[in-house]
Amino acid sequence: MWNVLLAQAQEAAQQAMEQGPVDALAEGAARGPASNPLMQMLPMLLIFGAIMYFFMIRPNQKREKERREMLASLSKGDKVVTSGGICGSILGLTDKTVVLRVGEDRNMKMEFLRGAISQVTSRDGQD
C-alpha cells in the first residue's frame, strides 16, 4: 500500500517538473485572479466604519462641543440646573467652580464644579 502511494507522489512530482513554472503560472492565470478574503471584506469594513462615524462618533463630538460652549458662556445671574438636579442662579464664577444661590433664602449658597452644570434654564436671570 505504501509503495502505491509513494509511486503516485513521485509520478505527480515528475509531471509538475515536466510542466515547468511558466506553465503552472499560465494555468493559474487561466483560472482567474486569486480571491483574497481580506480584499473582499475591505469595502464592507469601510462602509461599516463610515456608518459608525456618522451615527455614533460625530453626534457625540457635536454634543460635547455644545456642552463646552455652554459651560464657557456661563455668567452671573444665569439660572442653571446641576447634574444632581439642584436648581439655582449663579452668584460667582471661577475657572473650575460655580457658586449658586439655591432656595429662596439669599444666604443659601452652594459651590459646584463647573462641569456639574447640566443645563441653563434662563440667561441673566430672565425667565
11-63 confidence digits (pLDDT tens): 777 776 676 555 555 555 555 555 788 888 999 999 999 999 999 999 999 99
The arithmetic mean of pLDDT across residues 119-127, rounded, is 76
For residue 8, the model assigns a pLDDT of 76
Question: What range defines the domain where residue 81 resides?
Answer: 75-122
CATH number at residue 79: 2.30.30.30
Q: Please indicate, yes or no, whether residues 82 and 65 belong to a single structural domain of this protein.
A: no
Nine-digit cell string for 106: 439669599
Q: CA-to-CA distance for 53 and 48, rounded, in angstroms? A: 9
Examine the domain organization and report whether 80 and 66 are in the same domain: no
83 in a structural domain: yes
**Number of domain units in the chain:** 2
C-alpha–C-alpha distance, residues 80 and 116, integer Å: 10
Write the burial class of residue 50 (CB in 10 Å: 0-12 exposed, 13-18 middle, 19+ buried).
exposed
Do residues 59 and 80 share a domain?
A: no
On whether both 101 and 116 belong to a single domain, the answer is yes
Give pLDDT, residue 25: 55
> What pLDDT, on the 0 to 100 scale, is given for residue 38?
82
Cell output for 99 = 457658586
C-alpha span between 107 and 111 (Å, rounded): 13
Do 66 and 103 sit in the same domain of this protein? no
Same structural domain for residues 102 and 114? yes
**Could you say which DSSP state residue 115 is in?**
G
79 and 49, same structural domain? no
* Helix, strand, coil abundance in the chain, percent, nearest 5: 55, 20, 25
Q: In this structure, are 117 and 92 located in the same domain?
A: yes
Strands of 117-122's sheet, edge to edge?
109-113, 97-101, 87-93, 79-82, 117-122
Tens of pLDDT, residues 80-108: 999 999 999 999 999 999 999 998 777 89
- Residue 82 and residue 65 share a domain: no
Do 68 and 84 lie in a common domain?
no
Query: 23 versus 124: which is more confidently predicted?
Result: 124
pLDDT score at 79: 94
Inform me whether the pLDDT recorded for 117 exceeds 60: yes
